[in-house]
Amino acid sequence: MLAAVSAAGLAVCAAAVLVTLSGTDASNPAFEAEMRAALIAAPIAVGLFVLYRAPWRRFATLLIVAGFAWSLTTLGQSDSSLLYSIGRVAGWFVEPIVIYLVLAYPSGRLTTATDRRLVTALVLLMAVLYLPTALFVDSFPTPSPWSSCEQACPGNAFMVAGSEPGWVDDFIVPLREAATIAIFAAMIFIVAGRIKRGTHLMRITLVPVLAVAIVHAVALIAGVVSRRVWGDAAVTEVFATLIALTTGGVALGFLAGLTGWRLWENRALRRLSAALAAHPPALTLAETSKLLSQTIDPSLKLFHRRVALAEGWLNTRGEPAVPVVDDKRCSFMEITAGDGHVVGVLHDAALVYSPTFVTVARSSVLKALENERLGTELRNSLRELRESRARIMSSADKERRRIERDLHDGAQQSLVALRIRIDLASQLLAQDPARAEQLLSELATEVDAALDEVRSLARGVYPSILADRGLSDALRSAALRNPVETTVDVDGVGRYQAEIEAATYFCCLEAMQNAMKHGGHVKKIAVVLSVDGDLHFEVRDDGAGFVQNGAVAGSGLTSMRDRLAAVGGLLDIRTAPGDGTSVAGTVPLNGNGSHRAPAAA
């Protein structure tokens, strides 16, 4: 497409040069040919240069169309009456195109009702007071921006009347010239107001185009007034030449504004890079807002909110705030993070036309949100770690007190009683050997009971089978002691570090005890262990289940989470009323430095 449009542009430029050089008698044919070629080439070349650069594409397309449309005015240099007439009539449509380009800059659209009314008024003026006169006049006004002839101009090929009516020159021409002056004066007022209201960033791109537009409008008004009031052909010809030059100058002004904008972008990015290098890498949202306002846009402000919350926007200090958006000076852009957090960026309206700024702002805001999210998670993790450590220490103290109590109230009392009865048996040996023998026999039974009590106590602290034979056998042994039918299914489970095996074993044990105590008529419990790089376990029951959101985590669940957290694991509980309960956990074997221990002999 670019090649085709470029070739077509070169062709019409060459045709313009040939028509101008071979046409009417101009005082300086070479200058006229160059000016006509430049009038066509400037908008086409600039349009092609920025055609695929968002967001300038629409305006670039309008420039290319304007360049080809203005090429028809070159026919006004021809000696042929028909071609000359076509060129002069085509010149009437130059001004509506110019006004549309100026008022639609830089978006390529007429954004206000006033702009649309002004363009519509000029189009109606051309359609009502300019085009119909081509059928009644024998010649077109001279000098003209679109023709270099003065006296020996070809006649009007479109004239259908036998002679030119007097009302055309007496009424229609003054009326349309007055309307043209009024419309272009209104354009000057609108354009000057746009420059005055614009921010510093907006003026970088606006001033070159709008300044050329103001000069063009002033030259056109002056040319009309000069031709009507003084009739001085020399002065009017100067204004006509200025009108032609500034018509193509709109495109050059656009190129100048775009170049100035690119230079400003480069300087702003260099400032931002230097500021980022001087700051710590993990910037908060408030620091990001300050950095962007210092390096890119002083008016920039950041707001944020959660989608689910109803209280609206907050500023970077966390205070309620309402973004005030002035459509003519600023714009508001929303950036949504993956977690639903929304950040609003209030910035200069000119930055809408900077894809670089949009990319930088989006990446900076998302990075700041991620930094804050990670910081919040880190603080929560540290708090949970402190609480977990406190719970573990408290649990260890309670366990030590329980062991001390059990030893004192159970095993110690039994051993003291045995000691007394042994002394009694030793005294009976000399007096009543039969009675002493019977007493010693009874002591053997009591010794066995004391041994069982000590074993039971030791098994509750750390089962020997877990240390000797690993998770599979320890869980099967625990399942055999359960009053509820319990199955243990293991897949590829071997030996691991003691802390991993202990955490997994006691979590499964706690889950089985919770199922029997709180499951509600549990008939079957299933324990499943598997390995796929991490160690996974799941304890399922067929009990009544519960509403998870309404359940308050007890000491058992807290203990399980603490045990797994100590080895880098995670706990997941899935339940629903009537569907039983599943307690599942994952323990990394390699992610935290864990590894398989050699199998027991």
Q: Which CATH number is 539's domain given?
A: 3.30.565.10
* 273 belongs to a structural domain: no
Q: Is the pLDDT at 551 greater than 50, yes or no? A: no
pLDDT at 550: 46
**Greater confidence, 143 or 188?**
188
Same domain, 573 and 479: yes
| Interacting residues of 430 by C-beta distance below 8 A, sequence separation 6+ | none
Q: What is the predicted pLDDT for the residue at 594?
A: 39
Q: Which of 25-39, 112-126, 282-296, 482-496 has the highest mean pLDDT?
A: 112-126
Say which CATH number the domain at 94 has. Answer: 1.20.1070
Q: Which residues contact 207 (CB under 8 A, 6 or more apart)?
A: 195, 257
Which of 49, 85, 52 shows the shortest CA–CA distance to 67? 49
Please state the rounded mean pLDDT for residues 523-532.
91
Q: What is the pLDDT of residue 465?
A: 83
Q: Are residue 236 and residue 164 in the same domain, yes or no?
A: yes
| Pair (409, 502) in one structural domain | no
Task: Looking at the structure, tell me whether residues 156 and 224 fall in a common domain.
Answer: yes
Classify residue 271: in a domain, yes or no.
no
The verdict on 306 and 397 lying in the same domain is no
Q: Are residues 308 and 235 in the same domain?
A: no
Does 146 share its domain with 257?
Answer: yes
Indicate whether 450 and 477 sit together in one domain. no
Mean pLDDT score of the chain, rounded to an integer? Answer: 83
Contact 206, 191 (CB under 8 A): no
Number of domains in the chain: 4
Pairing outcome for strands 524-531 and 485-491: parallel
581: containing domain: 469-588
Classify residue 473: in a domain, yes or no: yes
pLDDT band for position 592 (cuts 50, 70, 90): very low
User: With bands split at pLDDT 50, 70 and 90, how would you rate the model's confidence at 595?
Assistant: very low
Of these ranges, 351-355, 372-376, 417-421, 469-473, the one predicted with the greatest mean pLDDT is 469-473
Q: What's the N-to-C CA distance of the chain in angstroms?
A: 78
| Structural domain includes residue 598 | no
State residue 228 phi and psi, 5-degree precision. -80, -40
Q: What is the pTM of this model?
A: 0.66
Same domain, 32 and 120: yes
* Band of pLDDT at residue 363, cut at 50, 70 and 90: confident
CATH number at 435 reads 1.20.5
Distances (CA, A) of 471 to 234, 537, 583: 107, 11, 17
The average pLDDT across 430-442 equals 74
Alpha-carbon distance 398 to 2, whole Å? 82
Predicted confidence at residue 308, as pLDDT, reads 53
Sign of CA dihedral 194, 200, 203, 205: negative
- Rg (alpha carbons) of the chain, rounded to whole number: 46
- Average pLDDT for 57-62: 90
Does position 442 have pLDDT exceeding 80, yes or no?
A: no
For residue 74, is pLDDT > 70?
A: yes
Same domain, 118 and 225: yes
For residue 594, tell me if it sits in a domain: no
3-state SS string for 164-229 = CCHHHHHHHHHHHHHHHHHHHHHHHHHHHHHHHHCCHHHHHHHHHHHHHHHHHHHHHHHHHHHHHH
**Which residue, chain included where needed, has tokens 């039994």?**
414
Identify the pLDDT of residue 552: 45
Which one of 331, 350, 372 terminates a domain? 372
Alpha-carbon torsion 156, 158, 160, 165, what sign? Answer: negative
Domain end (from 439, 461, 483): 461
Q: Is residue 26 domain-shared with residue 93, that is, in the same domain?
A: yes
Indicate the residue type of 479: A
pLDDT tens per residue across span 278-311: 877 778 888 888 888 888 888 888 888 876 555 6
Q: Kindly state whether residues 169 and 300 are assigned to the same domain.
A: no
Please give the share of the chain, as a percent, with pLDDT higher than 90. 22
What whole-number distance in Å separates Cα of residue 124 and Cα of residue 395? 90
Nearest-angstrom CA–CA distance, 162 and 165: 9
345-351 mean pLDDT:
88
Residues 536 and 529: their CA atoms lie apart, in Å, by 6
Q: Which of 176, 186, 286, 264 is nearest to 228 (CA)?
A: 176
**Structural domain contains residue 272:** no
Last residue of a domain, one of 411, 442, 461: 461
At 599, give phi and psi (nearest 5°). Answer: -65, 145
Q: 333: how many CB neighbours lie within 10 A of its CB?
A: 16
| pLDDT tens-digit readout, 12-28 | 889 888 888 886 566 67
